[in-house]
Structure 1
Amino acid sequence: MSAPEAPGLRITVPASTANLGSGFDALGMALGMYDVVEVRASDGRSRVEVAGQGTRELPSGERHLVLRALRAASNHLGHDAGALRVFCQNAIPHSRGLGSSAAAIVAGITAGYALAGAELDEGALNLAADFEGHADNAAASLYGGLVLVWRSEHGFHASRAEPHGLLRPVVAIPEVRSATAATRGLLPETVPHADAAFAAGRAALVVHAVTTRPELLLAATDDRLHQGYRRPAWPASMALIEALRERGVAAAISGAGPTVLALTTDGVLPEDVDTTGFEVRELSVDLQGVSVDQLS
């Protein structure tokens, strides 16, 4: 007869989209696609098992991102979590601009806080941002809804806003992948003042459009700050964005790409737009953010 499993935690963390056009490193939104991580005590060495996205690609021990983030949170809180057995059921595609790394980091940090008996706080956001270098995806996965993030001399901060109830995001996910580091390398050191002013106005407008005036989404998601410079990384995605925008659909690159985000109010894309090579999915806006359940 096998020994009963040790009690543990189940962490459910949503995917995220970032930027929403010109809100580069400043805006994020949680999406209804979830990774689920279960954490239990182990009587031996720590190990990580993965099912779904990333199977056979990710490390199985302390180098796994969830476990690294958990250890960082434990160290921050002065808690020794000991040896752990972690199981990851991953639904968020990797390297597609849907916040898979941020979700793993948030899951690990949340587990570390829960094991230490601590409530999530702004320190958790800053731990996550330390891993990523920016806070937009992590804040969305932590808090749900629309998030506005900024950085001060005291670290990263975030404020949550409630998306409009009519908003029905659609994502078009290609098979090809991209890496945030590579796409950031395509950005210039400076941009023209007129483009910076354009981006500031549109980033402000997208907050208003997402929360209050969805009919303004097409104008709000226009961008001159980063997408044009990074076109070589995802030409097919940019072609799809342009085709959608020509038909009145508010479309933009999701995060570092190459996924295309369309912010609609009906959950569908025009039938005459060619989406060959993309998996098109309607997703809800996640309003809760990361959650923790006790396992018996």
Structure 2
Amino acid sequence: MTGYASVQLAMAPEAEGRAGSARRLGLEIRSVNSRFLDLSLRLSDELRAQEPALRALLTQQLKRGKVEVRAFVDTDESAALAEPTPRLLQRLGAVQDAVRSWLPDAAPLTVAEALRLCANAGAPAQDWSAPMLELAQRALDDMVAAREREGERLAAMLQDRLAQLRALARQAAPLVPQLVEQQRQRFMERWREAMQLAEGTAVPEAAQDRALSEATAFAIRIDVAEEITRLQSHLDEIERLLKKGGEVGKRLDFLIQELHREANTLGSKSAAMDLTRISVDMKVLIEQMREQVQNIE
């Protein structure tokens, strides 16, 4: 299911154990529909070491969706810049000269790059593990809440399709006995016609039995009571899972496949246009459900 969340956490210089401007840790997470879990992480250089822990957190709480996570560290540009010392600038210039002596085509440092390098020089490495996991959990909670709201809308849509399928099953149930009776009458009429044409000649006594046997075989061939019963059973199970909630996506996938199988069998046994129409209408509704169920976690 789809979802989006964006959270930020301000990190004061004192909290980082260093001088300089305040920094802000930001994280965005978005999810779009997918049958499987597909993670894509885009982390700034300072946060790359946190990728394993972040990936473990995501896989623990998410089961489906194409999930993209972007995490970054921003420096508050409005804060006052610390003036680099002459000794630090001299050292930076010496390093640049050494690099350009070997790489004469290298571009010279800009003022912004020099300020950034001086600000980071000698600073202790920041441990982002705790704030990163805290921020990721907040973002996950927000996104899961958004997905739950979408799940409620999907459940309402599926309940509507279930009601329509039940109505079609009720329409199909009385059609089969009517078709069987019509076919029995047709066989008996043919038998009587054969008897009239055979007046004055010996007609095998087994003729009527043969006609009744063919009518019985036809009734067995077009009987869809079993398919309708199984279809209704699958509908009951889908409704139960929707009310239960939780991680039901894969079970719903399987039940939708079984619904499609029963609707196909119903169509293949069809001996009347009304039954064929019901089978087609069922398959349309089931396909609409399949498209949405594949996205449910």
- Of structures 1 and 2, the larger Rg is shown by 2
What TM-score bracket applies, with the shorter chain setting the length? under 0.3
Higher relative contact order (CA 8 A, sep 6+): 1
Which structure's residues are more often helix, by fraction?
Answer: 2
